[in-house]
Structure 1
Amino acid sequence: IFKHSHKICLLSISNNYCSPKLRLFASKAYKPYKRQLYKNRIIEIMSESVNKSANLKIGTHDGRFHCDEALACFMLRQLELYKDAQIIRSRNEEVLSTCDIVVDVGGVFDPNIKRFDHHQKSFSDSLSSLRPEFGTTYDVRLSSAGLIYVYYGEEIISSILKKEAHTLLDKKSLKMIYLMVYEKFIQEIDAIDNGVPMFDGEPTYSIYTGINSRVQDLNQRWKLTKEPYDSDGQFRKAVELVGSEFVGKILTYTESWLPARSLVEQAVLNREQYHKSGSIMYMENHCPWKEHLAQLEAEYNIEGQIKYVIWGERDADYRCQAVPVTPESVICRKFLHKDWRGLRGDELEEVSGIPGINFVHHNGFIGGAFNKEAVLKMAEKSLLGDYTD
């Protein structure tokens, strides 16, 4: 290890694992004529860094646990500083005062002293209130998971992507992933922990298989069994359970959602080259597009302009889909021509006057053709059709 210490240090530097002191000593150790002088100090500094992480403590409450503090603890341990930190579960303030960071207990929210509880009456913060640069949309009251995400989220995402996917995002992409993970994962945990309803009124049915429910199921059952209950062991399972899903979301949005957005953006920018109306968009490579299109239209200030999206499934198989009014809606901005709906094959060709057209769904949201010319004609005639449904 002494013989190759300069290589070890350079590897550490390239992965941002070292302190400024280690970076200084590593650069000097690389010079052969000074290697012997500095190698012992390099190893000493590296050991100090590892020991510091191992000696740190993350505090949270004991007893019945919930999804938010399990995720908060997992996220903290993705950071280099806390990667080997011990998790201390207690409600005793004397014990908590020995911890380096405390989540979901203690009745104090103060990031300056690393206290992140949300239960106190005075607390009402949301992502939007603490990070106003992201707008006013995210107004759900934060849980301990949301608090840790607000203050450390970008660093946590970067650490996970570096470790799991060997990926480094640019600033714009990191912001998009940060907001997507909050909106599609963290916000749900915040809302459920704080008792925020999804909507007014009573739901038709309830969901019992979500991540919050599965974490709850790891708590002690009311009917005691003969075997002793290991609360800390079960909490560790909860941390790993919610953590694995959190990592999965980050990887999905980075490796699938983000590349799809680039493809949709290119199609949006090229739409007038494909059709002069600007209302028909062609995608060279088909991918999930509805959510991306809605976001991009807002960004480019062209909301509602694109009526149809065309793509090829494979050779001799093309699709034309009407754009919904929202990504989740079944109502479209302009359905395919009403006279074609539910028709197929020769009958559809005769009624539409388009050779190569082969089907239109009975509600008019999608249709198909055997070639690009036919599928474009389908969109053009529908665009000019005098109907509103």
Structure 2
Amino acid sequence: MAETAAKRLKTDVTVGTHNGHFHADEALAVYMLRQHVPQYIGARLVRSRDPAVLNECSIVVDVGGEYDPARNRFDHHQRSFATTFPGRQTRLSSAGLVYLHFGRGIIARKLGQPEESEPVGLVWNKLYESFIEALDAHDNGINVYDPERLKSAGLEKRFSDGSFTLGAMVGRLNPNWNDPIPEDPVEAQAQEDSRFEQASQRIGEEFDRSLEYYTLSWLPARDLVADAFKARYEWDSEGRIMVFKGQSPPWKDHLYALEEQDPDANQVYYVLYPEKPVEGSKWRVQCVPVTKDSFESRKPLPEHWRGFRDEELDRTSGVSGCVFVHASGFIGGNKTFEGALAMAKRALELERLEELSMDLP
């Protein structure tokens, strides 16, 4: 198949960055420009630290000691640099800078909506917080948690996470210290550039997956979650149960946002949804976590249900049609919607009984 004109190499348009050891921030910055920004799609990559070479580039990221959007210069290493994304405190890297200036356009083209529209703004902020900011923090040496506060609290990791972060994923594509290097400097640079191209493509694939998710899945879910949130008093007089009758959308982010808008209302404890959007499907009862990424539930399913299945769980819970309750109590299942709703309501009743017993003298 013939290559489209937009994808052909634009030898007169160049994206410049530094050579040598590469990092995730410039790898992604280069990817976003060359794959998603119309004037740079198919641009030739130039990797150099020579000011004369960089001066000839159409746009330069992560090198040059200059941040000047009017001149398409996006470095963040200068002492005076302190730019952050709106509403965030993390100082930007080259990835954040490119996203700050070009991200709205990328999202607007994906959604087919104006850059200043509300949906574009929602995704622009969410994609930064959920993906780009981690790269900015990594490149600027910012830890997720304050090391001094962790130390004073006596907290230590329970296990190694293998340092498998977005930054580490790109870093692994740099050559090892003892890999052979071609004697010819031109060949050596070409080999290094090839590795960078692989790294840029790899981190770019993750960006594209996130872009697809937040535009085509996360955003459309907002209205479905809002409808279910409004209807929650239909299932529980205090609004602690939320139900999705059809497909189960990604609900956590949207639920937390809706609850913030109504801080005086009770929190939702349980979310019910069918395993599959077909008639006769089994149903799940999922506990709402304390935070999106937490393994701690606001109100786990009762302890004496956990780890049981089928008829044994029916006897233990007093609810018919049970399938299982996870050993940690964060999720359970029933053969029917009515059974799942009964499990959620029974769990709330047991919680109320426990509270009353604690109040007795």
Q: Same-fold call, TM > 0.5?
A: yes
2: CA distance between counterparts of 1:359 and 1:92? 64
| Count of residues in correspondence between the two structures | 328
SS in 2 for 1:139: coil
2: CA distance between counterparts of 1:221 and 1:354? 59
2: CA distance between counterparts of 1:56 and 1:309? 51
Q: Does 1:71 align with 2:28?
A: yes
2: CA distance between counterparts of 1:258 and 1:234? 35
Which residue of the partner structure matches residue 198 of structure 2? Answer: 237
Q: Does 1:271 align with 2:238?
A: no
2: CA distance between counterparts of 1:216 and 1:348? 49
Q: 1:66 to 1:336 in 2, by over 3 A?
A: closer
Q: Does 1:180 align with 2:117?
A: no
Which residue of the partner structure matches residue 283 of structure 1? Answer: 244
Which residue of the partner structure matches residue 285 of structure 2? Answer: 320
Query: Could you tell me which amino acid in structure 1 is paired with residue 299 of structure 2?
Result: K
2: CA distance between counterparts of 1:206 and 1:353? 41
Q: Which residue, out of 99, 111, 122, partners 2:69?
A: 111
SS in 1 for 2:80: coil
Question: Do the aligned residues in 2 keep the contact of 1:271 with 1:278 (CA within 8 Å)?
Answer: yes
2: CA distance between counterparts of 1:244 and 1:342? 39
1: CA distance between counterparts of 2:14 and 2:317? 71
5 Å matches for 1:131-146?
A: 131=86, 135=87, 138-146=88-96
1: CA distance between counterparts of 2:229 and 2:47? 51
Shift of 1:87: 2.8
Q: Does 1:332 align with 2:297?
A: yes
Provide, for residues 50-93 of structure 1, a one-character-per-residue CA deviation record: whole Å limited to 9, x for no partner: 99x75333322222222211211221222112224333322222
1: CA distance between counterparts of 2:268 and 2:67? 46
Query: Could you tell me which amino acid in structure 2 is paired with residue 95 of structure 1?
Result: V
Query: Could you tell me which amino acid in structure 2 is paired with residue 87 of structure 1?
Result: L
Query: Could you tell me which amino acid in structure 2 is paired with residue 387 of structure 1?
Result: E
Q: Which residue, out of 190, 193, 199, partners 2:139?
A: 193
SS in 2 for 1:57: strand
Q: Which has the higher contact order (CA 8 A, sep 6+)?
A: 2
1: CA distance between counterparts of 2:281 and 2:43? 58
Question: Do the aligned residues in 2 keep the contact of 1:294 with 1:303 (CA within 8 Å)?
Answer: no
Which residue of the partner structure matches residue 222 of structure 1? Answer: 177
Percent identity (aligned):
39
Q: 1:362 to 1:236 in 2, by over 3 A?
A: closer
Q: How high is the TM-score relative to the length of structure 2?
A: 0.78
Shift of 1:348: 4.1
Which of these two proteins has the greater Rg computed from alpha carbons? 1
Provide, for residues 235-289 of structure 1, a one-character-per-residue CA deviation record: whole Å limited to 9, x for no partner: 2233222222221221122223333333322211221234433211111122333
Which residue of the partner structure matches residue 112 of structure 2? Answer: 168
Which residue of the partner structure matches residue 45 of structure 2? Answer: 87
1: CA distance between counterparts of 2:27 and 2:333? 48
Q: 1:382 to 1:86 in 2, by over 3 A?
A: same
Provide, for residues 295-321 of structure 1, a one-character-per-residue CA deviation record: whole Å limited to 9, x for no partner: 332245467521211122252622222
Q: Which residue, out of 329, 334, 347, partners 1:382?
A: 347
5 Å matches for 1:21-100?
A: 54-77=11-34, 78-100=36-58
1: CA distance between counterparts of 2:318 and 2:20? 71
RMSD over aligned Cα atoms:
3.2
2: CA distance between counterparts of 1:225 and 1:195? 30
Q: Which residue, out of 319, 338, 341, partners 1:354?
A: 319
2: CA distance between counterparts of 1:50 and 1:255? 24
2: CA distance between counterparts of 1:233 and 1:362? 48
1: CA distance between counterparts of 2:306 and 2:326? 6
Question: Do the aligned residues in 2 keep the contact of 1:265 with 1:296 (CA within 8 Å)?
Answer: yes
